[in-house]
Amino acid sequence: MKRALNFNAGPAALPEAVLAKAEKEMMNYLGCGMGVMELSHRSNEFEEINERTKNLLRGLLNIPDDYEILFLQGGASLQFSMVPMNLLEEGSAASYVLTGTWSEKALKEAQKIGKAVTAASSKHDNYRSIPSTSEIDIQAESSYLHITTNNTIYGTQWHSFPEGLPNPLVADMSSDILSRPLKLSSFGLIYAGAQKNLGPSGVTVVIIQKDLLKRSEPGLPSMLNYQVHAESKSLYNTPPTLSIYFLMLVLEWAEALGGVKQLELMSKHKSALLYDAIDRSDGFYTGHAEKESRSRMNITFTLENDDLTTAFLYEAEESGFTGLGGHRSVGGCRASIYNAVPLENVEKLADFMNSFRSRN
C-alpha cells in the first residue's frame, strides 16, 4: 500500500509502527479474544491500559506527583469552558493572551462563565508574533493566566513561558505537547486534544496541579468537574477507550524513540528544512510568522499570487502530498509536521518546494 505524505493539521499523522501494532491487536488484545473497543472500561485489561498510559505520560514529561492526569472527552474546545468553570474564582477575573483563533475562542467561552480579560494580544499584526512577557498585563488578583502555546492557523509558538507569576499559568498545548521538555512546575494546568501529537481524536489530556482541584465547586455538573474526574481516575463515565489505547501506543513509541528530548531534536531538524526552503526562495515563498515566533509544528507560508498557490497545491497533491492547504481563514499553505511525520516526508516536501520554485 502506498501511504500518503500526510501534512494534515489534525487529525494528523500517526506513527506507522503504532498503526501496525493496533492492526495486529485489533481483534484480539493480549489474547483476551476481544478488541480494545469491545472491552469493558471496568475490566482489568482496560484499567491496565488506563494506568499504563498515565504512567508513560508522567515519565515522558517528568510530571511531579503533585499533578493529576485526567483523560477527558469533548476536545480542547470543552476545556475552554471547563477551565473557567473550575478555576475562575468568585470576584476575580481570568486573564488571556491572544495569539490566534483558538485563544480568541477560549476567551469568548470564559466570558460566558465570568469575568475574563485580555492580558496581551498580537492581533494587531495578524498574529504574526508571540507577545513578550513584558507586554503581558496581568493583575495580581487574577485567577489564572491562559496561553495557547502553539498556534496552528498562524504558525507561531511560545519558545519560553512566563515565570514567577502571582497566579496559575494555564496552557492549551493541543498542538505541541510532547514535542519538547517542559518545566511542569511553571504550569497550574495543561490541556491538549490528542489528535495532533498524542494520538487520534476522542481523548483530551488534562494535567492539573492537585491543589487547584480544590477550586472545583461541588455544585458544578459532575461531567464538568475536575475533582470528580480525578477521584474516579478518569472513569466516572465510559471513557474513549480506543483513543486512550492509541495514546498508550504513541507514548510507547515516543519512549522507544528516545523520549521528549529526541522528539525535540527531530522537530527542530524537520522545521529547519522547510524554513530554509522558504528563506532561500528570494521571496517566492513568504513565511507568515516572524522568525523569533516561528512554530516547529506548523509551517505557514504564502506564494506570490493566488494562481501560483493553486498550482502549488495541485502539483503537491498529484505528487502524493496531502493537507498542505492553509486554514480557510488565512489561506496560503501550511505544513503540519507533528512528531509522527517522518523526516523523509519532510525532506521530500522541501525538495518539492525547491523544485516548484525553480520551475516557476
Active site residues: 102, 172, 196
3-class DSSP assignment, residue 207: strand
Nearest to 197 by CA among 156, 247, 163, 155: 247
Helix 44-60 vs helix 241-257: angle between axes, to the nearest 10 degrees?
40
| Number of other residues whose CB lies within 10 A of the CB of residue 140 | 7
Nearest to 81 by CA among 224, 235, 240: 224
Alpha helices in the chain (DSSP H): 16-25, 44-60, 75-87, 101-113, 226-231, 241-257, 259-279, 306-318, 343-359
Q: CB within 8 A of 171, min separation 6: which ones?
A: 146, 147, 148, 149, 161, 187, 189, 190, 191
Q: How far is CA 136 from CA 87, 89, 95, 119, 290, in A?
A: 20, 21, 9, 5, 19
